Amino acid sequence: MANPGFHVPHPQYLLRVLQGPDTGRTFRLRNTRIAVGRGRADRVDLPLSDVYVAPRQFDLIWNEDRSAYDLLVHPHPNPTTLNGREIRDTEMIVLRPGDEIGIGDTVLVFEGEEVTCHEGAHQESALPHYQPIRDGLSEH
């Protein structure tokens, strides 16, 4: 699971649910490793309610060298797609803003967001409309 002591630097990244049972949810990505899947928040970092999503469908892993998130898909009979292309199990791919991830009946879009914070300010104070749901994630 994610390391609650390490926060990803600016720009901030979001996962927004465009289609599926969780349409409209938005998650701010803050930790170095984020588990995405179906189920309860105590089992994955970003829980989805889509019945066609695996309990742990994929992870987002912060790559410090590239200052970007990588997508790591776990073996599952229901495929994960990236911009319409099926991703093979354990294939690691660099995500770019605008990329669409398809799992089950759900489509998520990976977004980058430039956030301006004054030195020493907390992100939450600069973005008061986001409320934390777990260490490393917040939901709009």
pTM (global) more than 0.95: no
C-alpha dihedral, 136 to 79 to 103 to 57, nearest 10°:
-30
The list of the chain residues with pLDDT below 50 reads 1-3, 5, 10, 114-138, 140
**Half-sphere exposure at residue 57, Cβ-oriented, CA atoms within 13 angstroms:** 26
Q: Which residues contact 7 (CB under 8 A, 6 or more apart)?
A: 30, 31, 123, 136
**pLDDT value for 113:** 64
**pLDDT value for 88:** 76
**pLDDT value for 138:** 47
**pLDDT value for 92:** 83
